[in-house]
Amino acid sequence: MEFRQIVYFLEISESGTFQKAASRLGLTQPALSKQIFLLEKELGVSVLERGGRSVRLTHEGEQFYKYAIRMKELWEEIHNTFAKENELKGNFSLSAGGTASAFILPQILKDILKKRPELTLSVKEGDAKETKDALLKGEVDLGILTGPISEPSLNVLEFLSDRIFPVAAKDHPIFLKKKIRLEDLKKQSYVFFHPGSALRKAVEKKIKSFTKEFGPKITMELRSVESVIKSLEAGLGIGFLSEYSISSKLKKINFEDWNTERKFFLCYRKKSGPALALLAEELLRASEKWKSGKESSLS
């Protein structure tokens, strides 16, 4: 049995006549009839009942039709798997928070676009709520969110892990202390991200796990990662940053059992079609490569 015979059988079943099927397949009617004859000979049963100008499935043909559909679907799955490298093209949009937009995505997207000249990617920066809303409304194709995510209409794939550290300018007075305690931190001024920031929410949750009495004195609330970094470098307070965005002018504050990690998840709508699934896989592969290189530079 040849796969083309299965395709021919399905086309005849859908067309209703040998003549129409032959025309759609680009074959002569005798050539098509011969292939069906060979198929029936190998199966040992008749799958088509000829009569007049039209044909219909025999009882055995109806059974074979179910198998033929499954074989065709499997072939398409195999073909799609091995054709991925040539199919990923078009225009796509992505939304993410400040850290991902400024320090993670640029190199990842650069590597992807270098390999995919027919692919166009645009990035829209937004906080957690803005990104999720844009994704659900269909304003962007993909979104990078921090967990937990409980949204049944989205496919959710783990993207990257990110550690958050308290930091300050290298000449900040806090570093004059041999051992930094919670009481020392309570006296400091802080540069925070705005309340809608996923990073800020993670930090506040961690602070509450240490003490419920610690209400940080917030002197600045900023939206962009760059603004926070510049303010911290200027010595305007203590802040919290992703390990990926700590500049050379800043220093981590070693404080007791501080260990805060958040996970980034790559999300897209479930009814988006196969192209987005391919793009998501490409982003995951590129992120693994980026992460390996970044970990080497941070170690």
**Residue 161 forms beta bridges with which residues?**
263
Please count the helices (runs of H) and the strands (runs of E) in the chain.
11, 11
Model confidence, pTM: 0.64
Element at 143 (helix H, strand E): strand 142-146
Q: Is the pLDDT of residue 86 over 60?
A: no
pLDDT bracket for residue 296 (50, 70, 90): low
- DSSP per position, 249-276: TEEE---TT--EEEEEEEEEETTS-HHH
| Span of 52-61, 85-94, 128-137, 269-278 with lowest mean pLDDT | 85-94
Phi (first) and psi of residue 260, to 5 degrees: -120, 125
Any idea which residue has 């995510």 for tokens? 149
Tell me the pLDDT tens digit for each residue of 147-178.
778 889 999 999 998 899 999 999 999 999 88
Phi (first) and psi of residue 295, to 5 degrees: -65, -35
Q: What's the CA gap between 93 and 139, in Å, rounded?
A: 8
pLDDT of residue 238: 95
Per CATH, the architecture of 88-299 is what? 3-Layer(aba) Sandwich (3.40)
Listed in order, the ranges of the chain carrying CATH 1.10.10.10 are 3-86
The dihedral region occupied by 135, where left means phi > 0, alpha psi between -120 and 50, and beta the remainder, is alpha
DSSP for residue 145 = E
Give the pair of three-digit tokens for residue 42: 């190998």
Of 96, 89, 134, whose CA–CA distance to 112 is shortest? Answer: 89
pLDDT of residue 295: 63
Listed in order, the ranges of the chain carrying CATH 3.40.190.290 are 88-299
Q: What's the CA gap between 238 and 252, in Å, rounded?
A: 10
Q: What's the CA gap between 105 and 112, in Å, rounded?
A: 10
In this prediction, residues 279-290 reach a mean pLDDT of 90
Please state which CATH class domain 3-86 belongs to: mainly alpha
